[in-house]
Amino acid sequence: MDVAAFTSAPNLSPSPFTSGSPSSRAHRLSLRASRRRRHPLPALRSHPSASAPASVSHHDVVVVGAGIVGLSIARHLLLHTPLSVAVADAAVPCSGATGAGQGYVWMSHRTPGSDTWELAVRSKQLWEDLAAEMDGLGGGGARESLGWMKTGSLLVGRTSEELATLVEKTKVLSQAGINAECLDATSLHALEPALSVGNDGGAMFLPDDRQIDAFQAVSLIEKTNSSYSPKGRYMALYNDPAMSLIRSEVTGRVEAVQTSKNILYGRKAIVVASGAWTRSLLHSFLGPNSTLDIPVKPRKGHLLVLEKFDRLKLNHGIMEVGYVDHQGAKSNSLPLSSKSNEDEDDASSISMTATLNTKGHLVLGSSREFKGFSREVDKSILKSIWDRAGNFFPALNNICLDIDEAKEIRIGHRPYMPDGKPVIGFVPDMSNVLIATGHEGSGLALSLGTAEMVTDMILGNAGRVDFTPFSIENRFSG
């Protein structure tokens, strides 16, 4: 009998003002990095602090946050404008939500006509264009540079009610121009023999959905961005948390970001793309008298990675239909809370997701819960992920699971928004400060479209996608 092994990790408590965790940039998130010292975050300043000397530099745009969204914004600006960019982050790329996901670039869980639909369509096209560009360069192509896999996706259900939902969803997506097919249990078994949904179940199949490896994609984006450093157009400052904004004493306009080590002047714009940490960061930036409160909050997730797993063969990326209801605390997925009246602060759930990455590792998920910024591994959730997967893949039920042995566990904090859509736009009364956050579990999938949108906003262009659904104006109050 094979043994699947896990690792536990110490409970690190990152500063709520970072845009990533304090862990090192590594595929295996053993979370062994040392506890980082918390930095006080003073309110909006009218001039640089004289207490600690800082290096001063001038740029056109300063981006706070080096997750996939922040780095993609920098990339788009560098490629499509003559502007210079600086990126600052309290940690390193892929140490937050970006490195803790499964890399979906999927349309199966999108809804045509929703506020995020056009952004998802545009962003997927931009990823397709980038992958085609990488393939055109030869060598390992998009697979090697992005972890790009043309797996397609299967959204699966096990009951006649869920199958009816999938039939209707297939119809709606097809009418929106998406290549979608509904499969009954027999057809699904022929396509994915290891998957079991019973006689009443089935799936929606989207052959054009893709997967990306976040670490490889970020590495490519960093390489592109860094190529502009010798030209004086790019600067990356990691492990250097933002501490305050600096305002002109004459005009009152925000001029710079002060980090723990640097003062970064942004002549044209300052972009805050700090994921789940954006709310706390803005509170520090804007001070106690601000009426703006963007209610983004961390939604913790666990993923289990089984390396070189050969006991289960997958031909496609797979997700149960319950995952689609990811905005609510309850779904058709497995609830972890026994309370009948769950509120969003204590509700937890598991939805089965399963993918194989380019290295042959099986990635199983996923959990959703509100636990603040805790990085503690919850063994009960890992067991629930394993048990939930066993309901769909009978072969896993014959494998003994040893939770205390070492394998990879990914823990991240999705930037959750109660209304289910990102916040992308200028801060009211701050004509050159933009926010880009709240993508929840779609940061990677939506990152390139978000980067294009932010660039259009900075340049004053109309944009390929309507900005209105994502704006701050009239959407939030104190």
DSSP element (H, E) containing 222: helix 214-226
Q: Is residue 364 part of a domain?
A: yes
pLDDT of residue 323: 81
Residue pair 93/420 in contact (Cβ under 8 Å)? The answer is no
Domain membership of residue 311 (yes or no) is: yes
Domain housing 358? 3-11+149-208+297-416
- 30 falls within a domain: no
The larger pLDDT score, comparing residue 70 to residue 283, is at 70
| DSSP secondary structure, 273-319, as one string | --GGGHHHHHHHHH-TT-------EEEEEEEEEETT--S---SSEEE
- Chain segment 76-91, per-residue pLDDT in tens: 999 999 999 999 999 9
Exposure of 18 by Cβ count < 10 A (0-12 exposed, 13-18 middle, 19+ buried)?
Answer: buried
Q: State CA 382 to chain mean position distance.
A: 20
Question: Is residue 329 included in any domain, yes or no?
Answer: yes
| pLDDT at 334 > cutoff 50 | no
What are 198-237's pLDDT values in tens digits? 999 999 999 999 999 999 999 999 999 999 999 999 999 9
Residue 297 makes CB contacts below 8 A (sequence gap 6+) with 276, 279, 370, 415, 416
Q: What is the mean pLDDT of residues 344-372?
A: 87
Confidence check: pLDDT of 31 > 60: no
Cβ neighbours, 10 Å, residue 223: 10
Total tally of structural domains belonging to the chain: 1
Average pLDDT, the chain: 85
pLDDT of 342 above 70:
no
Task: Select from 188, 210, 209 the least CA-distant residue to 199.
Answer: 188
In a domain, 155, yes or no: yes
CATH of the domain at 302: 3.30.9.10
- Retrieve residue 227's tokens: 């190529």
Do 415 and 296 contact (CB within 8 A), yes or no? Answer: yes
In a domain? residue 394:
yes
Q: Which residues are CB-contacts of 243 (< 8 A; sequence separation ≥ 6)?
A: 39, 40, 41, 42, 258, 259, 260, 284
Residue 410: inside a domain: yes
Average pLDDT over residues 21-47: 37
Six-digit token string for 132? 């085609």
For 417-474, the pLDDT digits (tens) are 999 999 999 998 888 999 999 999 999 999 999 999 999 999 999 999 999 999 998 7
Query: 457 in a domain, yes or no?
Result: no
pLDDT of residue 291: 82
